[in-house]
Amino acid sequence: MGGYGGLTLGAAADTGSGLLKIPRVLVGDLVVPLNTQLPLVLNNQADGDFEMWFLSIFRTNALLKMLWEEGGSTRRFVYSGAQPITAQFNGVLVDNLAGLVANNGAFPIAVPYVFPANRNMTFTLTDSSGAQNTFEIALHGYVLLPVSTGG
Amino acid sequence: MPNLWDTLFGAAGAPPPGTPGGPPRQLTLPRLMNLMVNPFAIRGGSAGNFQKDVYEYGSGAILRNGYKDPFPIWMVADLSLGAMKTARGHFPIPRNFYLLSLFASSSSNVKGGYKVVAYDTTRRMPFMLRPGNFNTLAGNGSSPLFMKVPYPIDGKEPKIKWTVASLESVTNNVQFGLYGFQVSQSNDHRGY
């Protein structure tokens, strides 16, 4: 268990895990027109897996809901807990997910989640504010770079 | 000799509840209530800064090393309630799910927003002894209250039933939800 130990840059060589952790933020931006649903696809880079620790979200209006699905596995991070379902489910209000780093509002997901390299994440955003909504999500964490431990 | 804190909550790095060598699973409401302490604030020592604390605490790989492939999940009851209306439903809990925190929001909060109770059907125990105001029970993504120990919700078809009662005299758009994680396998879900 916990095969993603690794060490941050500047630390001694981590021969145990063979991973070097470098801080990285994956950022996705989208302008959602009023009362519209739009997808936002964020792609993890090919150079390494991404270990996510924090979510941070900016929006211009709080009336914005989000669904989140991982490509490849098509696993959903957000799903409806209102059973029986009586209305269309557009996801969680983004303010219930996370806030701004500047306001000490980044959400610690507490269970660092590792996205494989090249993996897509799809966010589906639905505005109900009646005005254009500017949205940004930042996934804070580390890229896990394999390091050679051979002599 | 372990101190009282470690006896109750387990020392840092201890196995998760229900696993060999770890503390017992939370089976009773008083235990659960007493665990409603933010571990990051306690261990990190700065109650107002989750961002900092999770890193300090995270240096010990808080949950990652204790659970197999945890996958974060947000489960949301998204409701539009008429004036003074009540709604009931349940969260269909996936297998091997551990609860970490609740979140709640209300579009109108003139008269208190709404009250809510939740009930663990497997253990037949309520999470709240009586309905609580949404803002006293949970915050939003900027103000989470984490449980000290992840709470396993198990059983053959585990559910958390909820009842939400709006206190507002206008239509109220309500979200009430669980945040937790699913693991690929767990000793807390043996035999199902």
| Contact: B74, A108; criterion CB under 8 Å | no
> Residue B52 falls within a domain, yes or no?
no
> Cα(B176)–Cα(B138) distance, rounded to whole angstroms?
9
> Residue B60 falls within a domain, yes or no?
no
pTM equals: 0.76
> Residue B53 falls within a domain, yes or no?
no
* Domain at B93, CATH number: 2.60.120.510
Mean per-residue pLDDT over chain B, rounded = 75
> Residue B42 falls within a domain, yes or no?
no
Q: How many domains is chain B partitioned into structurally?
A: 1
Q: Is A96 exposed, middle or buried (0-12, 13-18, 19+ CB in 10 A)?
A: buried
| pLDDT (0 to 100) of residue B27 | 46
Start-end of H helices in A62-141: 94-97
> Residue B1 falls within a domain, yes or no?
no
Residue of A nearest to B185 (CA): A1
Give the burial string for A3-31 (b: 16+ CB within 10 Å, else e).
ebebeeeeeeebeebbbbbeebebebebe
Determine the structural domain holding residue B143 and report its residue range: 29-36+69-185
Pick B72's closest partner by Cβ from A94, A95, A111.
A111
B121 pLDDT above the threshold of 60: yes
Q: What number of C-beta contacts closer than 8 Å exist between A and B?
A: 136
Pick B51's closest partner by Cβ from A4, A92, A101.
A101
> Residue B153 falls within a domain, yes or no?
yes
The residue length of chain B stands at 192
> Residue B117 falls within a domain, yes or no?
yes
CATH, domain range A24-146? 2.60.120
* pLDDT tens sequence across A93-134: 999 999 998 888 888 888 888 999 999 999 999 999 999 999
What residue type is A143 in one-letter code?
V
Q: What Å distances lie between residue A43 and A60, A116, A120, B190, CA to CA? A: 24, 10, 4, 36
| Contact: B51, A108; criterion CB under 8 Å | yes
CA distance B130 to chain A (A): 21
What ipTM is given for this predicted complex?
0.81
* pLDDT tens sequence across B60-83: 444 545 677 788 999 999 999 999
Any idea where the domains of chain A sit in the sequence? 24-146
> Residue B23 falls within a domain, yes or no?
no
Distance between terminal CA atoms of chain A? 27
**Mutation choice for B interface testing from A79, A111, A119 by most B CBs within 10 A:** A111
| Contact: A111, B70; criterion CB under 8 Å | yes
Exposure of A64 in the CB half-sphere (CA atoms within 13 A): 28
> Cα(B179)–Cα(B147) distance, rounded to whole angstroms?
11
